[in-house]
Chains A and B, each alone.
Chain A
Amino acid sequence: MQALVIAAHGSHLSAGSSTPTFDHADTIRAVGAFDEVRESFWKEEPHFREALRTVDADEVYLVPLFISEGYFTEQVIPREFRLDDWDPELWESDGTSADTATLTAEDTGQTVHYCGPAGTHDAMSDVIVQRAESVTGDPDVGDGFGLAVVGHGTERNENSAKAVEYHADRIDAMDRFDEVQALFMDEDPEIDDVTEYFESDDVVVVPLFVADGYHTEEDIPEDMGLTDDYRTGFDVPSLVDGHRIWYSGAVGTEPLMADVLLERAADAGADVGDAIERVRSETGGEPASSD
């Protein structure tokens, strides 16, 4: 038996924080790739601390629904899941290349394949592109468009910026959008100056965040000048300094995100059969490439 356990942040204050986690878990449940799929949270229940005992499988694929490597993936999750002998070195990561490490959970004895975060998986680039398609309503969006991938920045964690740049570079290399730029909330190049970084009239802005909340719903729209007060809302697209800004909200709410979780587990050795292809086709992604 194999189980997929998704580790997400959750919230004490916002009911919507866990919604993308539930949605992606349900997508994966529906394709039956795992005997069990269980959501777990740092701020909700089941808590990281007690999630493993709620699944029956001896073999667990633990995938953090986090955007980057750092404090949560390296310290909090392994500690709270009681992963014996964890050491961040096991991932041999350069900051965006964590894949998997196989460990034993001290309290349950289960074998846990602890995967790198969803946010740094290559498939995440496809989710960002699909988010751009969703917000523009154009499955071929790219020509004549700029794309900004937005992250928190280095204030709390330098890998958070690395993840944003990693995907911006990958999408740039696809030659699909006229321009691709990584922007940040608390460092240069800053999201406040979004229009200065693009020549294109149309710019899609995709925040690399797991769930919508304070940053994606209040900070970023106001910083970009989409609105003076987030409570009054804004149009998509909104005109800012002569550019049409297509603001997508958190990338993590895109249904294709389920594919990234699944691919993380498959990379770690989970037998998922044709689930990746099925999830990709059901959530609007292109068929997976053979590599």
Chain B
Amino acid sequence: MQGDHLDALVTAAADGIAFDGLVVEPEGEGYVVEVAGDRQTVDGEAQLRAVLSESPAYVSNWYVWHAETPQKEDRWSYLRWLEGAEEAGVPERYDALDDGITTAWGQLLITANADDDGHRRYTVVHEDDAGTAPSDLTTYEDPLDARTIAKHDDGGKYRPLKTAPTLQTGWVFEALDPAALVETVDFFYPATIANWHREREGELDVNHWRETMERQSGIYGVVQTWDRGEGKEHVEWVAEACCDDSQCIKRREWEYDEETELDYDGGDGEFPCREPCSLVISAARQWTKLEGEQTRTYEFELTPSEKEQIEAVVDAVADGEAEEIREADLYDDANRYRTRFLRAKLFDEDGNLGGVETGE
């Protein structure tokens, strides 16, 4: 146990302490001390020190949570949650921290440890790297580096959405102190800790689809004309297209409006999505324009296999699987050669399917 932890605790004891199973109350010239329900009275500071020295974990635990962790409520609660502090008592928790307590946060795996003096240190890796030896990963210690890692996926493609399930692998953040851990998480997944905490406190400020669209202006003002009688159904498609867990790991909490919930599932993410994001708004702008068109009837002739092939191509693109289909896998309907054959057969020189012009 570190002496300065005990010194700080003894100083604070004058005002009384009750934290994680440790109670110290001034009483006359002495103190009442209670550790894990075991209550005793001590005469003065020297005795208080002696008694507390027998429970070093309780002392360091008090110190860490009052002097070493960020005191901003959401950050503090998040760090407590990471080690299950509201569920497990100090001895049990310290045992677990010896081995490391690992929690998933999006695609991150965060492991909390405590050293002999109770100082918390955190390791962060990609969930897909859980079984990889740290020596095979690139080690980082500066939270600012998370911004760079978060920018591109494993294929080098830019990630405009931080919470897309495409976080790149191959790195590890080690020996982060509590403030650095919170910073790192916030660079990977901005504002998720703050919104998670607000939700836990019942204070998440959800802005639903309609109010968010009504707020838009400039080139996005067009989304205010979204509703053409079937507005909610169209928003269902937006949620299915953009907000599914396969596209974004936030859990959608916004609905069509205060009274009208969307049927499409909001997902299982640990942290909430409180309003349509800028990507959804940009996409909605495009759909507002496209969905203003009326349907018309075109006539094409397709074999049953060709119809299924077109469906498979749409599926492959929508699910981001087109690039994974092997060149020679001609059994896959969305195979490149198969698709090129379909184009050669069905498109005219102007790119019209079945030679049928799109028309104005």
Contact = CB atoms under 8 A, between A and B. Distances in A.
Contacts of A76: 217-218
Nearest to B73: A56
Interface residues of A, number: 25
A88 to B, nearest CB: 14
A46 B163 CA distance: 11
A221 B333 CA distance: 45
Nearest to B205: A107
Contacts of B320: none
Contacts of B161: 45
A272 B351 CA distance: 61
Interface string B153-174: 0000010111100000000000
Contacts of B274: 50
A42 to B, nearest CB: 7
A11 interface: yes
B277 interface: yes
A104 to B, nearest CB: 16
Contacts, number: 64
A133 interface: no
A79 B215 contact: yes
Contacts of B278: 12, 42-44, 47
A15 B147 contact: no
Contacts of B194: 50, 53-54
A287 to B, nearest CB: 28
Contacts of B335: none
A75 B162 contact: no
B241 to A, nearest CB: 15
B70 interface: yes
Contacts of B163: 45
A230 interface: no
Contacts of B160: 11-13, 43-44
Contacts of A11: 160
Contacts of A29: 144
Nearest to B217: A75
B191 A50 contact: yes
A280 interface: no
A243 interface: no
Nearest to B156: A15
B225 interface: no
Nearest to A79: B215
Counting chain A CB atoms within 10 Å of each CB, the highest count among B74, B186, B194 belongs to B194
Contacts of A43: 160, 278, 282
A49 B190 contact: no
B152 A15 contact: yes
Nearest to B147: A22
Interface of A: 11-15, 22, 26, 29, 42-47, 49-51, 53-54, 56, 71, 75-76, 79, 107
19 contacts: A11-B160, A22-B147, A43-B160, A45-B162, A45-B190, A46-B186, A46-B191, A47-B191, A47-B278, A50-B194, A53-B195, A54-B186, A54-B191, A54-B193, A56-B72, A71-B218, A75-B217, A76-B218, A107-B205
Given A22-B147, A46-B186, A56-B70, 14 more contacts: A12-B279, A12-B282, A15-B152, A22-B144, A29-B144, A44-B162, A45-B161, A45-B163, A45-B190, A47-B277, A53-B194, A56-B72, A71-B218, A107-B205
